C-alpha cells in the first residue's frame, strides 16, 4: 500500500479532477478513497444526488465520464479498479462540508468510549446543533451534549434513507 501521505495526495488529486466532471452530470462528489482490499487496489468514488437517490445509471454515467480523465491524468501508479458508489444508508459524515450540511438534522453518534458524564450508550441518535473548530453540540433526548471531534469514532446521517 502506498504511504498514507501518498494515498491522501492521490485522493485529493482525484477529487480535484473528478468533482467538476461529476457536477456537470448534476451530481455531487461525496468522497474519494484509495485503498488496498486483499491485494487489489481500489479507487472508490462516492457520489450523491441533491434531493434524490443514486441509481445504478448514475454510477455508470460517472464511471464513463471520469475514466477518460483519470486515464489521461494517470494519478495512480498501481494497477487498480475504479468503483463508483452511493453513500448508502450508512452515510458517514467525514468532512467539514458533510458535517455542515447536517447541522439541524438527525445523526447517529458513535463514541470511541462511553463518557461517564453522559447518560447514553456509546452509540446514540441526536440532532446536530452546531459544529465549529472540532467541537460538536448535539441534542440527544432533550439533553445538550458537547463533544470534541477526537471523541467521535463515527458520525452518520439519519435522514429519510437511513432512519
Please give the full DSSP string across 42-84, using - where no structure is assigned. Answer: EEEEEEEBTTB---HHHHHHHHHHHHHHHHHH----S-EEEEE
Q: Given phi > 0 = left and psi -120 to 50 = alpha, else beta, which region is 116? A: alpha
- Please give the backbone phi and psi of residue 44, each rounded to the nearest 5 degrees, phi first: -110, 120
Q: What was the pLDDT predicted at 162?
A: 39
Domain with CATH 3.30.300.70 in the chain: 4-85
- Taking the model in full, what pTM does it have? 0.81
**Residue 93 and residue 102: Cα distance in Å, rounded?**
8
Task: Give the residue with greater pLDDT, 163 vs 134.
Answer: 134
Q: At residue 161, does pLDDT exceed 60?
A: no
Domain with CATH 2.30.30.180 in the chain: 96-157
Q: Looking at the DSSP assignment, which residues form a beta bridge with residue 125?
A: 108
Report how far Cα 106 is from the mean position of its chain's Cα atoms: 16
What is the CATH number assigned to the segment(s) 4-85?
Answer: 3.30.300.70
CA distances from 144 to 15, 105, 124, 137 (A): 36, 14, 13, 7
Q: What is the pLDDT of residues 48-77, one digit of tens each?
A: 998 778 999 999 999 999 999 999 999 998
**Residues 155 and 108 sit within 8 Å (Cβ to Cβ):** yes
**Residues 153 and 110 sit within 8 Å (Cβ to Cβ):** yes
Average pLDDT over residues 10-35: 96
- The mean pLDDT value of the chain amounts to 91
Q: What is the pLDDT of residues 88-109, one digit of tens each?
A: 877 899 999 999 989 999 999 9
CATH class label, 96-157: mainly beta
Q: What was the pLDDT predicted at 5?
A: 60
Amino acid at each position: 500500500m502506498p504511504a498514507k501521505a501518498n494515498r491522501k495526495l492521490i485522493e485529493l488529486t482525484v477529487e480535484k479532477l473528478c468533482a467538476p466532471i461529476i457536477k456537470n452530470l448534476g451530481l455531487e462528489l461525496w468522497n474519494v478513497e484509495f485503498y488496498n482490499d486483499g491485494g487489489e487496489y481500489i479507487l472508490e468514488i462516492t457520489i450523491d444526488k441533491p434531493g434524490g437517490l443514486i441509481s445504478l445509471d448514475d454510477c455508470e454515467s460517472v464511471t464513463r465520464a471520469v475514466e477518460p480523465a483519470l486515464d489521461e491524468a494517470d494519478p495512480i501508479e498501481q494497477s487498480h479498479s475504479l468503483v463508483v458508489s452511493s453513500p448508502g444508508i450508512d452515510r458517514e459524515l467525514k468532512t467539514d462540508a458533510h458535517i455542515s450540511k447536517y447541522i439541524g438534522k438527525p445523526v447517529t453518534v458513535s463514541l470511541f468510549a462511553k463518557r461517564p458524564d453522559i447518560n447514553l450508550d456509546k452509540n446514540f441518535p441526536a440532532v446536530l446543533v452546531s459544529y465549529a473548530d472540532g467541537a460538536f453540540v448535539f441534542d440527544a433526548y432533550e439533553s445538550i451534549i458537547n463533544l470534541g471531534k477526537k471523541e467521535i469514532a463515527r458520525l452518520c446521517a439519519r435522514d429519510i434513507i437511513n432512519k
